[in-house]
Amino acid sequence: MLSIIFSSRVKDNPDENIKGFLDSLYDCGGNQDNVEVILKYDDDDDEKPPQSFFDSYPFNIKVHQWSRGEGRHGIHLDKFYLFTQHDPKAKFIMAGSDDFTFNRYGFIDDILSINDEYAFIGYARPRMELYAPNWRDEQVMNVWKHNEGVSLPCMTTKTLEVLQNWSWQSGEDNWSTLLVILMYANYGMDLWKTIPSFYFRNPTDGTSQYSEGFNNMEMGGNRNPKNPYYFDLVIQQAHNLYLNIKEAQES
């Protein structure tokens, strides 16, 4: 099973399109046996769809609701809690967003066919060989953090269990790309599994972009982490992942 996890908001969010997201998931083969969706809404979002809307789909949709917290950066905190609510049968986790649309039938089966215990999955493999030598250089960073095909990052559940933190308050797509680069740069491991393209991002009016906030770990848009400790934390995550992989290979 694949678990798709994300925070959604209808109120004051013109880019929201949960119906389009869920309809496309169904059209591309989503059913009760192969996928579940785990959502969080803010408790002040009085425009959230009713439970009957979610119950109309042929796959399980778990809806949670709690405080909006500190705004945008709270979505990074939300996802790791939502991860703990996944079905025990879920072998893969995807960080979703309702401003995306799936467009290829069978992509779920492609993901579920991957047998690797530790893997990152997507349609465009990050160019890790190119970025590995100078990944921390600001100019290089501004290239690898964009358009590397991990806007809906997906990985095995076991990978995220070992990492024990989802993105360290940064964007999940940029964080996933950095992990893939670090595993190659530091340990010579290519954990990427490529499947054919299966989604696109909907056009937006730009009102949901980054605003001022206190989160100095955030990476995305035109931001790089102001707190360099972020990189140390992700480097340590990559090391922990490497050690677990080596132990599995030797046992």
Render the burial of 127-136: b for 16+ CB within 10 Å, e for the rest. ebeebbeebe
- Looking at residue 251, the DSSP 8-state letter turns out to be -
In this prediction, residues 11-30 reach a mean pLDDT of 95
What's residue 222's pLDDT?
A: 76
- 3-7, 67-71, 245-249: which has the minimum mean pLDDT? 67-71
Average pLDDT rounded to a whole number, residues 99-115 = 97
pLDDT at 171: 82
- Flag whether pLDDT at 207 surpasses 50: no
Instruction: Place 210 in a pLDDT band, splitting at 50, 70 and 90.
Output: low
Q: Which residue has the higher pLDDT, 154 or 214?
A: 154
pLDDT tens digits for 180-200?
999 999 999 999 999 999 999
Order of all β-strands in the sheet with 2-8 = 60-66, 35-42, 2-8, 92-95, 154-156, 120-122, 192-194
**Top-tier CATH class for 2-250:** alpha beta
pLDDT at residue 132 tops 70: yes
Sorted by sequence, the CB contacts under 8 Å of residue 101 that are 6+ apart come out as 17, 20, 21, 24, 199, 200, 201, 202
The pLDDT tens digits for 48-99 are 999 999 999 999 999 999 998 766 667 777 888 999 999 999 999 999 999 9
Q: Could you identify the residue written with the tokens 């809906």?
A: 152
Distances (CA, A) of 113 to 1, 152, 180: 10, 18, 21
pLDDT score for 70 = 67
pLDDT at 150: 56
Relative to beta strand 2-8, strand 92-95 is parallel
CB 1 within 8 A of CB 91: yes
Q: Residue 214: which pLDDT band, with cuts at 50, 70 and 90? A: confident
- Please state, for a pLDDT cut of 70, what percent of the chain lies above it: 93
pLDDT for the residue 213: 63
pTM value > 0.85: yes
Please report the pLDDT score of residue 148 as a whole number. 67
151 has a pLDDT exceeding 60: yes
- DSSP string of 27-61, one letter each residue: HTT--TTTEEEEEEEETT-TTSPPHHHHHTSSSEE
pLDDT at 246 over 60: yes
CA atoms within 13 A on the CB side of 239: 6
Sign of CA dihedral 173, 176, 180, 185: positive
Q: What is the Cα gyration radius of the chain? A: 18
Question: What pLDDT band is residue 147 in, cutting at 50, 70 and 90?
Answer: low
What gap in Å lies between CA 120 and CA 243, rounded to an integer? 17
**What average pLDDT does this structure show over 138-157?**
84
